[in-house]
Every structure is written in C-alpha cells, then in structure tokens.
C-alpha cells in the first residue's frame, strides 16, 4: 500500500499511471487531487484498478482518491464519526487475496484545523472501528507536525 499528496492529479496523471503500472500496489491513496469542477471520470481511470474519487465539498482544492487493484475485492465503508469542516476521511474495505480484510482509511487534515480537535475525532473513529476483525491501515496527510 502507498500514499501520495499529489497536489493536483490532472497534471501528474500520466506519471502516476506509469508508477502504478510499474509497482503494482494493491492499494494506493491520494490527497489533494484538486480535480477540475467538471471532468470525465474515465480520464482518471487506470486499467486494472477500481477508482474511488471524493471531491471536496464547499471549498476549492482538496479531494481524495483511492485506487484498488481489481484482483482485490473492495467496497466503500461507511462510518458515523464527524470530523471538523474540510477534513477529508474516506474508508474502503479491501480484501487482498489470501489475507485478512483491511479497512484502508485515507485522511487529509488541512493545516489550519486545530490539532487537538482532529486527534479527538480520529480517536472516536478508531473506537468506532474497533469491532472490525481485520487490519486497519491509516494513510494520508495528517498535517500534525
């Protein structure tokens, strides 16, 4: 599994696509995709990967994506924990062949969010997910320095 704060996917997409083709990650997450308001979904699809795209609502910039190899079983996982405004949290349940299932948690925490408020919400999320019997993987740009 891997992660990148891509800071605008559209101008790096060909390079990213080649990178995934070469290294064949089971799961790769992105933050700050900053896709244009109107784009063709097919423009960012990669052969052999399922693509989960999340556009930021209410503010320019941001956006997250999760690419999962198609030999894995994947589906979005819904949760109830509420995070501060503009914090992006997305979870996908992934079953990689011959392993326990994973919850892959992709987080983008903007630098202007209060650290303690974010950590408290993250703690609530982890408590909420504690009944999951597989593996938890947190990827992203948490901006906790």
Cα dihedral angle (51, 76, 89, 54), rounded to 10 degrees?
A: 40
- Each residue of 38-69: b (16+ CB within 10 Å) or e? eeeeeebebeebbebbbebeeeeebbbbbbbb
- Give the pLDDT score at 145: 78
Q: pLDDT at position 55, please?
A: 85
Reduce the DSSP state of residue 56 to 3 states and report it: coil
Q: Which residues contact 136 (CB under 8 A, 6 or more apart)?
A: 102, 103, 105, 126, 129
CA-closest candidate to residue 91, choices 45, 133, 139: 139
pLDDT given for residue 102 in this prediction: 98
Residue 15: CB atoms within 10 A of its CB come to 9
pLDDT for 45: 95
Q: What is the pLDDT of residue 40?
A: 78
CA distance linking residue 45 with residue 54, whole number of Å: 14
CATH topology of domain 2-141: Deoxyribonuclease I; Chain A (3.60.10)
- What residue spans define the domains of the chain? 2-141
Q: List per-residue pLDDT tens for the chain, 145 residues long.
A: 999 999 999 999 999 999 999 999 999 999 999 988 777 778 999 999 999 999 887 777 789 999 999 999 999 999 999 999 999 999 999 999 999 999 999 999 999 999 999 999 999 999 999 999 999 999 999 998 7
Output the pLDDT for position 39.
Answer: 77
**φ/ψ of residue 29, rounded to 5:** -110, 150
Give residue 46's pLDDT. Answer: 96
CA separation for the pair 70, 7 (Å, rounded)? 25
């Amino acid at each position: 599994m891997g992660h990148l704060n891509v800071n605008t996917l559209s101008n790096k997409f060909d390079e990213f696509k080649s990178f995934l083709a070469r290294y064949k990650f089971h799961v790769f997450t992105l933050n700050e995709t900053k896709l244009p308001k109107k784009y063709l979904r097919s423009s960012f699809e990669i052969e052999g990967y399922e693509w989960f795209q999340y556009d930021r609502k209410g503010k320019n910039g941001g956006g997250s994506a999760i690419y999962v190899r198609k030999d894995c079983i994947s589906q979005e996982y819904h949760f109830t924990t509420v995070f501060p405004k503009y914090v992006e949290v997305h979870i996908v349940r992934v079953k990689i062949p011959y392993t326990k299932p994973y919850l892959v948690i992709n987080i983008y925490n903007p630098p202007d969010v209060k650290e303690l408020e974010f950590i408290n919400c993250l703690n609530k999320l982890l408590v909420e997910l504690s009944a999951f019997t597989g593996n938890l993987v947190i990827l992203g740009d948490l901006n906790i320095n």
